[in-house]
Amino acid sequence: MQTTLEKKLNQLPLELQNEVEDFVSFLITKKTHGKQKKLRLSWAGGLEKFHNQFTSLELQKKSLEWWGK
């Protein structure tokens, strides 16, 4: 026996069913990642020693360069 959600999903064209599936996958990923990862600020102040040598924009560009991006 199909649930109400399955019935509604089956009424959609295949293209929209795929979109629904993608969205559900996104929600699952969002839920699991939110519990596993917390924002770390251990890097804060890591470039402070360069504040007299570079502007903030230059530091941003330099950090990307140092990280190989």
Three-state DSSP at 38 gives coil
pLDDT at 57 over 70: yes
CA atoms of 63 and 47, how far apart (whole Å): 9
CA atoms of 29 and 26, how far apart (whole Å): 5
CA atoms of 62 and 54, how far apart (whole Å): 9
CA atoms of 37 and 5, how far apart (whole Å): 31
28, 36 in Cβ contact below 8 A?
A: no
Highest mean pLDDT among 2-11, 30-39, 46-55: 2-11
Window from 4-8, 25-29, 39-43 with minimum mean pLDDT: 39-43
